[in-house]
Amino acid sequence: MWERLTLAHLLGDDKENNKDVPPAYYADDNIYGDFLHHYQQRIDSNRLSTLYLARLLVLSHNALFYDRLQNDNPKILKDTLKDHPTMCLSPKYLSPKSEQTCLQLFKTQSYNAKDIQDQLHLVRLISIDDDPCVYLDSKNKLQVFKSSNALCLALQKHLEKGLK
Q: pLDDT tens for residues 6-23? A: 556 555 555 555 455 655
125-128, strands of its sheet edge to edge: 125-128, 131-136, 142-144
7 or 133, higher pLDDT: 133
Residue 1 has pLDDT above 50, yes or no: no
Residue 59 has pLDDT above 90, yes or no: no
Highest mean pLDDT among 38-42, 56-60, 98-102, 133-137: 98-102
Selection from 132, 54, 129 nearest residue 93 by Cα: 129
Distances (CA, A) of 108 to 3, 99, 129, 155: 34, 14, 21, 10
pLDDT tens-digit map of 74-119? 898 999 999 999 999 989 889 999 999 999 999 999 998 888 988 8
Residue 4 has pLDDT above 60, yes or no: no
What pLDDT, on a 0 to 100 scale, did the predictor assign at position 17? 53
Q: What is the pTM of this model?
A: 0.64
Residue 2 has pLDDT above 50, yes or no: no
What pLDDT, on a 0 to 100 scale, did the predictor assign at position 103? 96
Mean pLDDT, all residues of the chain: 78
CA distance 67 to 76: 11
What pLDDT, on a 0 to 100 scale, did the predictor assign at position 51? 59
Q: What is the amino acid identity at position 153?
A: L
Share of the chain above pLDDT 90, in %: 26
Highest mean pLDDT among 26-30, 75-79, 120-124: 75-79
Q: How far is CA 104 from the centre of its chain?
A: 18
